[in-house]
Amino acid sequence: MPSYSKITSSEQLVTFLASPKVSIVAFYKSDHEVLNTIGGVAARLTDQIALAHCDVKSNAWAESQFQITTDPTFLVFKNAQTVMRLPGVQALASSLSQIRSLVEGDKNAGEGSAATPTDSSWVGASPSGKYVNITSSVNRLALEMLNSDHALGSASTLFEGTKPTALSKESATKDWVESLDDPELMLLVSFQNAVKLYSIQITSLPDENSTRPTNVKIYQNTTNIVSFDELDGRQATENITIKPEDWNENGTATVLTTFRKFQECSSFTIFFGEPEDEDCERIRIDRIRVFGVVKDQKFDGTKLKQQPEE
**pLDDT for position 86:** 79
Task: Please state the domain extents for the chain.
Answer: 5-105, 132-294
Residue 187: its pLDDT value, please? 97
Gyration radius from the chain CA atoms: 20
**275 near 281, Cβ under 8 Å?**
yes
Is the CATH number 3.30.365.10 carried by domain 5-105?
no
What was the pLDDT predicted at 84?
A: 76
pLDDT of residue 41: 66
Query: Burial, 62: exposed, middle or buried (Cβ in 10 Å; 0-12, 13-18, 19+)?
Result: buried
Digit-by-digit pLDDT tens for the chain (310 residues) are 456 789 999 888 888 887 777 888 899 887 656 666 666 666 666 667 888 899 999 998 888 777 687 888 888 887 766 777 777 877 777 777 777 777 776 554 444 333 333 334 689 998 767 788 899 888 887 889 999 998 898 888 899 888 898 998 766 678 899 999 899 999 999 998 899 999 999 999 999 999 999 999 999 999 888 889 888 889 999 999 999 999 999 999 999 999 999 999 999 999 999 999 999 999 999 999 999 998 754 444 444 444 344 3
The residues, ordered by sequence, that sit 6+ positions from 180 with a Cβ below 8 Å of its Cβ are 147, 148, 149, 282
The predicted pLDDT at position 101 comes to 74
How far apart (Å, rounded) are the C-alpha atoms in residues 75 and 197?
24
Q: Do domains 5-105 and 132-294 have the same CATH topology?
A: no
> How far apart are the C-alpha atoms of 135 and 160, rounded to whole Å?
9
- Residue 108, judged by CB atoms within 10 A of its CB (0-12, 13-18, 19+), counts as middle
Q: Which 8-state DSSP code applies to residue 72?
A: S
Beta bridge partners of 291: 133, 199
Beta pairing, strands 185-203 & 265-275 = antiparallel
pLDDT of amino acid 172: 63
pTM above 0.85, yes or no: no
- Which CATH topology does 132-294 take? Jelly Rolls (2.60.120)
pLDDT for position 43: 64
